Each structure stands twice: as C-alpha cells, then as structure tokens.
Structure 1
C-alpha cells in the first residue's frame, strides 16, 4: 500500500465537519490509485447495486458543499459520492505547495483522480458526474475523454466551452489571454482578472492572513457571490474586451493593488444579514474556516495556475475538436455572474461542444452557490435529468 502524508486537518476541524453533516451521510478515505488517499462523503451506500452519481466541488469549497443535495439524491435511489478534490480538505497525498508539482493539477490528471474514485468504489461507470465552479470543467473533461465511464454530465455555474484549439494565425491562446490582462491593467483605474490574481504567489497568504480574519473573509466572499448580495445583476457581456469585463463585480475583476479580501470586505454582511442567511449558518461556515485554516487554500489555487499554464493548454490540444456526446445539462443561479464571465462560453457549450444538451436553466433565488442556496431546486432538476436518461435506456430496450 502506498504511504500518504498525514492529513493537515486537525481532529477538531474534522469533528466540526462531521457534526454538520445531515444524517445519512458518512465520511471515509479511499485509495484512488493515482497517488491520493481521497476523503469522500457518501449517501445511499447501504444498498449495493445502485447507480453512482459523482459530485465534484469548486473553489473555495469542499465535498461538504454538497451536503444538502446528497441525501435527497440518495433517497431517489442513487449512491451519491462527493470527494474532497486533489489539494483540498481531508484528501491526502497531493502536492499543494506553490513551488510544487503543478502538473498534478492538469485536467487529465484530475480525470484520473475521478476515475480512480469510481473504480475504487467498484463501479465501471457512473450515471452522472456533476461539477460546480472549477469542478465543472473537470466534470466536462471527464465526459469528453471517458464517455464510457461518465455516462452523463451536469455542469454548474461555469459553462464548458470545450478544449483549447490549434491556432495557425500566429497568435496562441496564451498570447490572446495575455493581451486581455494587459488591456485590463491599462484601464483607469487599472484592473486585474481574478484568475490572474489567484495565480500570484501571495494570493494564499492574502486570504489566510487578511486583516478581517479568515472566517470574515469567507463569509464576505460567499455572501458577495450569492443571491443575497444586491449587487449581483448578471447579464451577457457584449464582448471579451477589457472594458466589458470590467463591468463585472470586483470579486471577478479586481481593482489592481487590492487583495481579494479587501475587495469582498466592502460587502461584508451585517449581523442581521448573517442571522437571516438560511443557506450558510455560522456553524457551517466554521467547517470551511477550520479546514482551510489547517490546509491553506493553495491546493485550490493550483487549479487556476494549471488551467492557464502553457503545459495545461498543450496537453488538452490532444482533444481539439472533440465534443461531449453523452447527455448533458447546465444549471446556474439566476444571480450568478459565473454564467457570463467568459463571453461566448455559454453559447459554444450549447451549440458546438455538447451534442446532447438536455436543458440549460438558471435557478431563481440562487447566486454562485446554487447547491447550497437552492438545494431542492438543484435536486429536482438533477433527478429530472437522470430520469430522462433512464427513459432513453428503457426505450432502447
């Protein structure tokens, strides 16, 4: 058996997480065969023979983020599994150092992580892989590269625009991205894209050691990207120009020179607003605070660094032109700017990348954290999506 590094998560933080899980969800570790001792939450595990649904979280989230949808999905007859992804939470074995092995966070290796979880659980395929935020492109890549295993895909909050394309016009995709960042820096006042900010070596420390403290930073971050913040009124952008991108809130396009903690701190909810927040209690927030205080956030930031790296772009060129042919759907919050932050991605996903898109829906009353803000709405739509595939199988038989 491989030896994994000891978990950085304290017993107190682990206990706080377990105390906030709904009855019917268990926590355990499994070896995924790809260098990780993966922490998973699962529901519906009591009855063998169920189809599996795999849930992949984003940033700054954990498997814990799926707690509100897992039991209802299990009650509908599925084995529901949510891992702490590489570099996150109680999962052991990944290199989460800024100067560590960034290639571990390339999308193809993240697909290997997911495959390893599926196979370790004794499955040869899953009914669906569901990805939220940065988990969405991971889930999309799973369905793109291994449709035999990931028989359908639900993408949430981040449209999947497909893989990088070969360019023969003298300008690489990396050069095009660099121009956008340069144009943002040339605005008055200068601006900085959040993904470029997350790639900086001090971004982790800015969040962990911010003046307001990690708990208040996370509270403000979750609040500002939710439907609770009055400033979220998303709409399609006319173009991907710096001027158009800069119309988005400052948690996406920062004022250059400000940290993310300073940017969201201005939207810190009042005590009354926190008390009225029905989707993230102080005890639930403490789970994130306790775990990220122990592990840091660099593991999650590595995804952004790998996504924009030349190596990450190059390895995905292997799949240039390949489409997602399994059934797919897209869900996002009606108050989520993530739907539109990459102009053209939503349209490309529906018209070119996904050949069997069943529906694309924006959920009222939800911002970016829709599986937490409106869990029943998410459950209803995922079950309808899965039922449609069951009906297809019955018709074929």
Structure 2
C-alpha cells in the first residue's frame, strides 16, 4: 500500500523492486479489472529487468480514499484527476519518469492523458484495446462567423434515441453502465456474482467464437448495432441478463488456463466486497459535459512521445468508437510506432496472451530507449 497518493492509499502489485536502479513499468487496468489482471505479465516484465507496478485504480479493489456512492462528486474520477493519480504514484515510488506506461481499456485514456500532459514523466506510452482519438477541441476560426462553441459529447442523446428506435431497440453499453441501476444489477445478479463475471470475461475473450470484429463505417445506430449485445445491449436488459446466455460450459471453464476458477474467485471476492459503483464512476465521467469540457485545455495537442497500440484480434474494443483508431493513427499520436493486433486474444490481452504481449512491449521499450531511464 502506497499512502498519500493524490488523496488515495493505493494498493499495488509489484515485482522487480529489489534494485533501485531498475526502470519503472507502470500498468493501468480497466473495467471490471484490477491490478490482479496483470498477474501473468508482471513477472515476465520483472524478469526482463523492470520494476513493474500495477495499482488498483481509483474506484477499484483495495485502493481507498474515494467515496463509494453514486451521488458522490464525479470530479475525483475525471480523466485529469486520474492522470494526477498516476503522476503522484510515480513520484511516491521515488521515480522521476517511467520507462513504459501501459493502459488497458479505461486505463488507456488515463495513460493517453499522462503522455499528453506530462511527456517528461511519461516518455513513452502503450495503449491497449481503447484507441485515443485526441482531446475534445475548441471550435476554430469562429470569430468571423459568430458561431457558438458546441459542448463536447452533445451527440450522445441523439445517438441513444437512434439506438432506441431500432428494431429491436438497442442501447450502448456505456449508457447502461452510467445508470443508477447498473451497480446493483451487477453486484447482485440472479445467476450469482461468480457466474456473471465468468460469462462477462468469457464473452469478451477470444474463447467465445462469436467475436468477429471489424471496422465500423460511422458513429450511427445502424453501424453500432453490428456489435455483439455486450456492447450494444438490447434495450431494457441488464448486463447480467445480457451475458447470461453465454456462460461457458464446465469443460470450457476447465480449459480456460488464462482465468482459472481460483483466479476468477479473486475478482468475485473483491467485487462482492466493494460492489461496482467506484469502477462505474468513470463511465459517468465520459458523458459529463463539464468534465469533458475541461479536457479542452489540451485542444489541438497531440501525443508526441513514442507510442504503440495493441489490441486483440477478437476484441471489438478496437472498433467500438468508430473512427477513433484512424484519428489516433493519423492525428492524435504523432509518433505511433505500430498498431498490433494479437492472435488468440480478445479484450483481456494481458491475461489471454501475456507472452506475446511482453515480446511487443520489451521490443518497443528497447527501440525507444526507455530501458535507460532510471529512478531518482
């Protein structure tokens, strides 16, 4: 536990801390993951010579100092404050910079803003599963036209209405996860918490044969409706109801070496203790106009440190925000070294294919010179 980190007491998993000269690898998880989700990757990177640190992010697991309440202020969970969490943790660990910063899922935008705001501390970044399209921008050259600035994210309501008008009616998963009901639904599912989490991890992995992702042409209801129901849900269904039909068989569970029953039990016990609300606050932040507007501080700014994007070939996350991958590649990240899609991986890349992931990471770090960056 690292105390006093931007108001948090941060629970971490770490390896390779024996030598203070080791460069720091910081790993930021997503939803509904924990620091524990990096368990397969941590020892591999430590064996490669890094001090590897994976925190339970704000709202998750055994990290404390945040308010576990739907009605709590959202500002502490904003992308900029979670960026401050990462910066404060690096300094609390006795480092001036990281050798590598890795963010998965909801950890990806946090990592992106770390590299955007503090390239001196985060001189390289790897984004996983969630492409970064760049910060919201201020309107340009409106002085002559007299046009009024448009609030970022105002298209969400129109998109929700268009999805609801489909036959059958649909709803984007982020809208559901932002609702007041989502925490209770997932904390107390009719099939039991363990079975819910098993189905959720399974259906978003390469193990489920229904995952055949491909780019979507536009951010429209018709295009989004091509995604599986765990991304674009049937309107009126809860997430536990959505994934229940995909619960793997006993034989499939036994065959799952990347998430054994005892390992899944760690997730079950942690979420049984905390519920999901802290983890869900980040989804509410994504649709909060004021918290998105503050990101305009970085309007027009790009990620200018060496960067890498890694997805799973069976992960819809790469394409779930149509256009984001192309924006990241052509505009938002000026030194994007490569976009890698890993065979045999769905959304949970670091659990499903840790060996291949570590190969890509170590090669990237060596290429950009991060291995020469030390503490102090």
Bucket of the pairwise TM-score, normalised by the shorter protein: over 0.9
Matches within 5 A, 1:90-109: 90-109=62-81
Question: Is the contact made by 2:345 and 2:353 (CA closer than 8 Å) also made in structure 1?
Answer: yes
* Count of aligned pairs: 366
Question: Is the contact made by 1:95 and 1:104 (CA closer than 8 Å) also made in structure 2?
Answer: no
The aligned residue for residue 7 of structure 1 is: none
User: 1: CA distance between counterparts of 2:154 and 2:135?
Assistant: 16
User: 1: CA distance between counterparts of 2:246 and 2:302?
Assistant: 40
User: 2: CA distance between counterparts of 1:320 and 1:96?
Assistant: 32
Partner-residue secondary structure (3-state), 1:315: helix
Question: Is the contact made by 2:99 and 2:371 (CA closer than 8 Å) also made in structure 1?
Answer: no
Question: Is the contact made by 1:70 and 1:80 (CA closer than 8 Å) also made in structure 2?
Answer: yes
Partner-residue secondary structure (3-state), 1:54: strand
The aligned residue for residue 11 of structure 1 is: none
The aligned residue for residue 26 of structure 2 is: 54
Q: 1:237 aligns with which of 197, 210, 216?
A: 216
Q: 1:260 aligns with which of 239, 252, 260?
A: 239
Question: Is the contact made by 1:151 and 1:326 (CA closer than 8 Å) also made in structure 2?
Answer: yes
Q: Aligned-pair distance for 1:174?
A: 2.5
The aligned residue for residue 316 of structure 2 is: 337
The aligned residue for residue 281 of structure 1 is: 260
User: 2: CA distance between counterparts of 1:166 and 1:181?
Assistant: 24
Question: Is the contact made by 1:207 and 1:260 (CA closer than 8 Å) also made in structure 2?
Answer: yes
Q: Which has the higher contact order (CA 8 A, sep 6+)?
A: 2
Question: Is the contact made by 2:196 and 2:240 (CA closer than 8 Å) also made in structure 1?
Answer: yes
Q: 2:157 aligns with which of 178, 189, 193?
A: 178
Cα deviations by residue, 1:256-307 (Å, 9 ceiling, x for unpaired): 0100000001111011110111110000000000000000111110001012
User: 1: CA distance between counterparts of 2:40 and 2:370?
Assistant: 26
**Normalising by the residue count of structure 2, what TM-score does the alignment of the two structures yield?**
0.95
Question: Is the contact made by 2:233 and 2:242 (CA closer than 8 Å) also made in structure 1?
Answer: yes
Matched, 1:158 2:130: yes
User: 1: CA distance between counterparts of 2:212 and 2:4?
Assistant: 41
User: 1: CA distance between counterparts of 2:259 and 2:42?
Assistant: 16
Question: Is the contact made by 2:152 and 2:289 (CA closer than 8 Å) also made in structure 1?
Answer: no
Cα deviations by residue, 1:324-356 (Å, 9 ceiling, x for unpaired): 001100001000000000111000001101111
Question: Is the contact made by 2:151 and 2:293 (CA closer than 8 Å) also made in structure 1?
Answer: no
Moved over 4 A (4+): 168-171, 391-394
**Normalising by the residue count of structure 1, what TM-score does the alignment of the two structures yield?**
0.90
Matched, 1:34 2:13: no
Question: Is the contact made by 1:365 and 1:373 (CA closer than 8 Å) also made in structure 2?
Answer: yes
Q: Aligned-pair distance for 1:390?
A: 1.9
The aligned residue for residue 117 of structure 2 is: 145
Matched, 1:194 2:166: no
Partner-residue secondary structure (3-state), 1:266: helix
The aligned residue for residue 208 of structure 1 is: 187
The answer for unaligned runs of 5 or more in structure 2 is none
The answer for unaligned runs of 5 or more in structure 1 is 1-28
Q: Aligned-pair distance for 1:139?
A: 0.4
* More divergent stretch after superposition (264-273 vs 169-178): 169-178
The aligned residue for residue 119 of structure 1 is: 91
Question: Is the contact made by 1:118 and 1:125 (CA closer than 8 Å) also made in structure 2?
Answer: yes
Matched, 1:220 2:192: no
The aligned residue for residue 360 of structure 2 is: 381
User: 2: CA distance between counterparts of 1:192 and 1:392?
Assistant: 44
Cα deviations by residue, 1:209-241 (Å, 9 ceiling, x for unpaired): 111010000000000000000110000011111
Question: Is the contact made by 1:238 and 1:343 (CA closer than 8 Å) also made in structure 2?
Answer: yes
Q: Aligned-pair distance for 1:178?
A: 1.6
Q: Aligned-pair distance for 1:172?
A: 3.3
Question: Is the contact made by 1:96 and 1:302 (CA closer than 8 Å) also made in structure 2?
Answer: no
The aligned residue for residue 22 of structure 1 is: none
